[in-house]
Chains A and B, each alone.
Chain A
Amino acid sequence: MIRLIGYGNPGRGDDGLGPALAARMADVPHVLVTSDYQLTVDHALLIAEADQVIFADALLRSDAPFEFGPVTPSTSHDVTSHSLSPQAVLALCTTLYGRAPLAFVLGITGQEFGEVKEGLCPQARTNLSLAEAFLRDWLAQTGSPVGGLAHA
């Protein structure tokens, strides 16, 4: 089973790119899609039985429309707040349930994060479409890990 978690705050402009991708991917067969405001301890349980998990988040400061690559458990990302990193969620999952799924991060580049507003800027919408097309192709072709870091 593949789990897609799109996270971010749609009330902060392009920070909503993760949930926006989750909304677009809801129709993909064999993929369980979750949208959330931020990653928390609950997500360790959510991914515990998944074979693969894709964390979709907004990406700051990248020249590429999106970046895609593997991510592994790490306890160096301490739980300093209610909000966790993908690495910490995977580490929690490993600690609690003895395993963690194969995991990837899809970072979609945004530009406007500062204002309290809903909606994506034009460039973020374009990047979202490119990331969606990539992910659909990747899921259709492989549904399995691709090595290294992919750029658009």
Chain B
Amino acid sequence: MTDAPRTIEISPVTRVEGHGKVTIHLDKDGQVDEARLHIVEFRGFERFIQGRLLWEVPVIVQRLCGICPVSHHLAAAKAMDVICGVDELPPTAEKMRRLMHYGQVMQSHVLHFFHLAAPDLLFGFDAPAAQRNIFEVLRQKPELGRRAILMRKFGQDIIEATAGKKIHGTAAIPGGINHNLPLDTRDAFLKTVAEMRDWAQDALALARDYTLSHTELVGGFANFPSKYLSLVREADGALDLYHGNLRMIDAEGAAIFDQLPYDQYHAKLTEDVRAWSYMKFPFITDIGPDDGWYRVGPLARMNTVSLIDTPLANAARDELMATAEGAKMHPILANHWARMIEVVHCVEKIDELLHDPDLQGTDLKATGDRREEGIGVIEAPRGNLIHHYRVDENDQVTFCNLIVSTTHNNEGMNRAVKDVAVAQISGQPEITEGMLNQVEVAIRAYDPCLSCATHALGQMPLEVELLDAEGQTLDERARAT
């Protein structure tokens, strides 16, 4: 080991969406001094959208991401509802959008759990890199792999039926939806939804059993308290992925603000900018940037909500929360359990909606008095998603602000990186691939979408660099992208 300060880079971080880089600064004694997740893409979407017509926005803004385009489609459509003076959609329109959203969250969570996280969970964080991949998972557990693909297909088919296309649908329009769900399509989904519910419960059991059988690992891995933010249902604080008011709680569960209409988000949240990352750092304005950071996402939602309005998922949440050491669950690896609870919830909601005749209604769109500004918020797979627009008298967008889930989690991800780096790397004579993977596991637990979180020009190589205080490369690792 050199006695000079060093910097380790993990670039890009793997098995997340988009490209990021981790730098770990070691002091002369080999102790971690600082660790940061850098976002190395710049997208400029908030500027790109300016000048586009309001009715185009729900379609165009999906180009932000090929992974959760439905989230952007719906958040933008909700904002445009407001601009079109529509505060309440016809039941058919809202339920079609909800069905689309539940299909989206289900397929996104399934993809992450089975294909991106499973190699770490099944083989261990320190397993040889050649083993720690999806092909090895499928070789050892082919039925798991087949189910995962069919569950994801079910969610994708729900999206296609409701949004018009699997990717970049057009169905949600300002003030409503452009079609309902035909009976033959509904009947096709009804034939398989029970099997999906069974498989979702099996996946939930897998995530639950992993967490409970690795209590020491889960409890000691990037387990730190934080504040949490999500939408909750207005009436009872229940989990609502599509609509509701904002609830922010502290680490013990006390409300910092509750049932805040989401069009007032900017009164409570401020976005900080730091020179070393293209991703902003939101914080609670009244508390300030140092202590006002918070987290969003599946585990955050389990912490913020009062209940889940579907029986299987609610029982599963009760069990999850009963394992918390304090009032709330903080270990980031518990996100996997939370994610699978949400898969069960989504399948339950899909089943419920498929039995609702409103999906075949013909009142698809509402109208109202035009406004200049609109804010739409949903709970995307990765957490809270805010779309905010202003338009001029020609219906052209003059202002756009997006706070995506991964941006909300920026400080949390950075703290997780440092927490794991300190635990794994400080004072070690040699930095191994397994140690670096543990840092990546911490980031992956958030299922971040770095493409969305920046606003990609160019492609980044995958490399890990160890630099001394003068910036000289001492060691280097590379992975294929």
Contact = CB atoms under 8 A, between A and B. Distances in A.
A112 to B, nearest CB: 12
Contact of A116 (B45, B111, B116): B45
A83 B111 CA distance: 11
B66 A76 contact: no
A45 B462 contact: no
- Which of A37, A80, A91: most chain B CB closer than 10 A? A80
Nearest to B481: A80
Nearest to A60: B459
Contacts of B480: 76-78, 80
Interface in A75-111: 75-83, 91-92, 95-96
Contacts of A91: 135
A9 B66 contact: yes
A42 B156 CA distance: 9
B44 A116 contact: yes
B148 interface: yes
Contact of B63 (A9, A38, A82): A9
B287 to A, nearest CB: 34
Contact of A82 (B67, B135, B156): B67
B14 A41 contact: no
B306 to A, nearest CB: 32
A29 to B, nearest CB: 23
- Which of B43, B168, B479: most chain A CB closer than 10 A? B168
B76 interface: no
A72 interface: no
Contacts of B145: 92, 95-96
Interface in B127-145: 133-135, 138-139, 142, 145
Nearest to A38: B66
B167 to A, nearest CB: 5
Interface in A22-81: 36-38, 40-42, 44-45, 75-81
A11 B481 CA distance: 22
B15 interface: yes
A83 B138 CA distance: 17
Q: Classify chain A's interface size.
A: 20 to 34
Contacts, number: 85
Contacts of B44: 116
Nearest to A48: B149
A80 B63 contact: no
Contact of A96 (B14, B69, B116, B138): B138
Contacts of A83: 17, 66
A81 B481 CA distance: 8
Interface residues of B, number: 40
Contacts of A11: 60, 63
A60 to B, nearest CB: 9
B17 A81 contact: yes
Nearest to A97: B146
A80 B153 CA distance: 20
A41 B135 contact: no
Given A95-B138, A114-B458, A80 B14 contact: yes
A80 B479 CA distance: 9
B7 to A, nearest CB: 23
B167 A79 contact: no
B43 A41 contact: no
A34 B232 CA distance: 38
Contacts of A40: 111
A77 B450 CA distance: 21
B166 interface: yes
A9 B45 CA distance: 15
Contact of A42 (B17, B18, B153): B153
- Which of B133, B139, B479: most chain A CB closer than 10 A? B133
A82 B150 CA distance: 16
A80 B18 CA distance: 10
Contacts of B167: 36-37
A92 B142 contact: no
Contacts of B98: none
Interface in B90-138: 111, 115-116, 133-135, 138
Given A44-B149, A79-B115, A36 B166 contact: yes
B267 interface: no
B16 interface: yes
Contact of A92 (B60, B116, B134): B134
Nearest to B456: A12
A143 B14 CA distance: 38
Nearest to A116: B48
16 contacts: A11-B60, A36-B166, A38-B66, A40-B111, A45-B149, A79-B135, A80-B479, A81-B14, A81-B17, A82-B66, A92-B134, A92-B135, A92-B138, A95-B135, A96-B142, A116-B63
Given A41-B152, A83-B17, A116-B63, 18 more contacts: A9-B66, A11-B60, A11-B63, A42-B149, A45-B150, A77-B480, A78-B133, A79-B15, A80-B479, A80-B480, A80-B481, A92-B134, A92-B138, A92-B145, A95-B135, A95-B145, A114-B458, A116-B44
Interface of B: 14-18, 43-45, 48, 60, 63, 66-67, 69, 111, 115-116, 133-135, 138-139, 142, 145-146, 148-150, 152-153, 156, 166-168, 457-458, 462, 479-481
Interface of A: 9-12, 36-38, 40-42, 44-45, 75-83, 91-92, 95-96, 114, 116
